[in-house]
Amino acid sequence: MSGFLHRTFSRLNIKIRVLVFSMAIVPILLLSVIINVTYVRRSIKSESENLYSRSEVLSKQVVTSGYLDDQGDVTMELRLSELAQLISGRVMLVDSSLRVIYDSYSIDKGKVFLWENVTKSANGEMLTYVDRKNNIITTTIPITTINDENELEIVGVLLASESVNSISENLNYIISIELIVLFLLLGFAILLGIILGNRYSSPITDASSQLDTGIKGDKINSIDVKGYSEIEELASQFNTYVNKMETIDESRQEFVSNVSHELKTPLTSMKVLADSLIGMGDAPVELYQEFIGDISQEIERETGIINDLLTMVRMDKSNANLNISTVNVNELVESILKRLRPIAEKQNVELVLESFRPITAEVDEIKLGLAISNLIENGIKYNNPGGFVHISLNSDHQYFYIRVEDSGMGIPEDSLDMIFERFYRVDKSHSREIGGTGLGLAITHMSIIMHGGEIKVDSTLGEGTTFDVRIPLSHIEEEGN
Ligand code: ADP
């Protein structure tokens, strides 16, 4: 049970509701208590001060009228009973021996009044007693006179009790207003709690249930982007991730069919060539040589594809180490160009190298060579007859820079983010015609990142593409490698 409670209350949704609820209710409750207590205190204080001042006026009159010694003064008795009426309560006069000489209720006259407050007032104190149960305030004040020796003498006590029902009536009225406000606020807080709770937690619960779906192997869907700042960011990043995953997954499936197709094509041609040679029986040597030459080309193509796959798998291993040596980058690029020039010529694409300065750098010659040659190969492959590929080499004291610029078909803007993903190809049908596996740029990217470098692409559809590569001149061994 406690586990269930803990789980329930640790849920973000519930937490937000409880928070909003307490933020709305707790201050108003506190405020109500403070208002009520202050109201009661101030009312009692002002009522008792009122009673004191009336009693004082009356006590002076009692002294001057000599009523304490002779109760024959009717005017004084009238005044005492007037006060009792005015305060809707009781007025009592007690002499210095605590004997009651006037009682507006006419109950205790003649009796000795031994109430603590009266005794204290007979010793000079002004006191207020609050009877909360019956809503009565009783003040007792000493009646003083100046005696013959010119000293202040206490000659009696004046007691006045006032019913203060009005204070509790007002308090009840205030409480009822506070309750109405509290209930309105309660409704508002519950509503706000539900709205905010859902707004904040639903992207998270949605994401979590979508991830559950993913774990079970089903398709993950995008979630609603709502909530505020961080939650929105989380939801939109989740969606970006899901979209990316979907694209990668689609590309992967395509890759499998592409690779199978690519691997099968050379095999099919080899089979056709071999079968026709077998079928011909006594074919002339020239024909044999021609067919075997074709078969050899197909083997080369097949090897190329397999090599690409192997390179990628090898690079993919996290512990793949670079085989660092000091390499003359100009020579490396020139040797790549030498190898690619016949292919470029065949496509009628011009290859131009512009070296601004000699560069030597600490790199893995094979892996960097692969990265550069993939970029140049693409520049040739995705070009138009009569086009060009410009390669430029430059460096500063920290980095060397390689730019590969072509006048080819360009890459659509929405594909620019994806081209470095494995298996991704912009125009599937076109790329298949051209050949390739969608692995070239992934290999290039991996190799450059392993060298601590950076690659950027800029492209205009129909005009051409420029790849900018930046690699540190000296290799810094990464921690953990
Ligand atoms: P592929 O083996 O298909 O060439 P890459 O990883 O080398 O694979 O390239 C991925 C995709 O990016 C290519 O299929 C192509 O559509 C696009 N691409 C790469 N380089 C260029 C370029 N220089 N010009 C136009 N498109 C390019």
Digitized pLDDT (tens) for each residue of the chain, 481 residues in all: 556 666 666 677 788 778 888 888 888 889 999 999 999 999 999 999 999 999 999 999 988 888 888 887 788 889 999 999 998 899 999 998 999 999 999 898 889 988 999 999 999 999 999 998 888 999 999 999 988 888 889 999 999 999 888 888 899 999 999 999 989 988 888 888 888 877 777 777 887 887 888 787 777 777 776 666 777 787 788 888 888 888 777 877 877 876 787 788 778 889 998 998 888 878 788 988 998 998 998 888 788 778 878 887 777 654 467 889 999 999 999 999 998 998 999 999 999 999 999 999 999 998 899 899 999 999 999 999 999 999 999 999 999 999 999 999 999 999 999 999 876 888 765 554 566 667 889 889 989 999 999 999 999 999 999 999 999 999 877 654 4
At 18 the pLDDT is 83
Nearest CA among 141, 171, 130, 175 for reference residue 57: 141
Distance in Å, CA 264 to ligand 1 centroid? 21
Contacts of 347 (CB under 8 A, 6+ apart): 380, 381, 383, 385
For 225, the token pair is 């982007």
Instruction: Provide the pairing of β-strand 350-355 with 388-395.
Output: parallel
| Ligand 1 pocket mutation, candidates 441, 448, 460, criterion most atoms within 8 A of CB | 441
**CB-based contacts of 76: which residues, under 8 Å, 6+ apart?**
61, 62, 65, 67
Measuring CA to CA, how many Å separate 168 from each of 81, 138, 320, 334, 479?
26, 16, 85, 101, 77
- Got the DSSP string for 31-99? HHHHHHHHHHHHHHHHHHHHHHHHHHHHHHHHHHHTTTT-TT-HHHHHHHHHHHHHTTSEEEEEETT-B
Q: Are 112 and 99 in contact (CB under 8 A)?
A: yes
Token digits of residue 47: 């009522």
Q: Which atom of ligand 1 is nearest to the CA of 406?
A: 23
248, 425, 443: residue to mutate for ligand 1 pocket, most atoms within 8 A of CB: 425
Q: Are 384 and 409 in contact (CB under 8 A)?
A: yes
- Would you state the pLDDT for residue 8? 62
Closest to 420 in 3D by CA, of 384, 456, 461: 456
Query: Per the structure block, which two tokens stand in for 229?
Result: 């700042």
DSSP state at residue 220: P
pTM above 0.75, yes or no: no
Q: Which two tokens stand for residue 262?
A: 């690519």
Distance in Å, CA 437 to ligand 1 centroid: 9
Residue keyed to tokens 């002779």: 70
The one-letter amino acid at 274: A
Tell which atom from ligand 1 comes closest to the C-alpha of 426.
16
Instruction: Give the distance (Å) from ligand 1 centre to CA of residue 438.
Output: 7
| Residue 225 confidence (pLDDT) | 67
Judge residue 473's burial from the number of C-beta atoms within 10 Å of its C-beta, 0-12 exposed, 13-18 middle, 19 or more buried: middle
- pLDDT of the residue at 430: 57
Cα distances from 73 to residues 76, 92, 140, in angstroms, run 6, 16, 23
The pLDDT assigned to 481 comes to: 42
Token code pair at residue 337: 């160009």
Q: How far apart (Å, rounded) are the C-alpha atoms in residues 334 and 336?
A: 5
- Single out the residue of 51, 41, 42, 47 nearest to residue 160, CA to CA: 51
Q: Which residues pair with 255 in a beta bridge?
A: none
Pairwise CA distance, residues 6 & 20, whole Å: 19
Ligand 1 center to 423 CA (angstroms): 10
pLDDT score, position 421? 84
Q: Mutation test of ligand 1: which of 431, 446, 463, 467 has the most ligand atoms closer than 8 Å to its C-beta?
A: 431
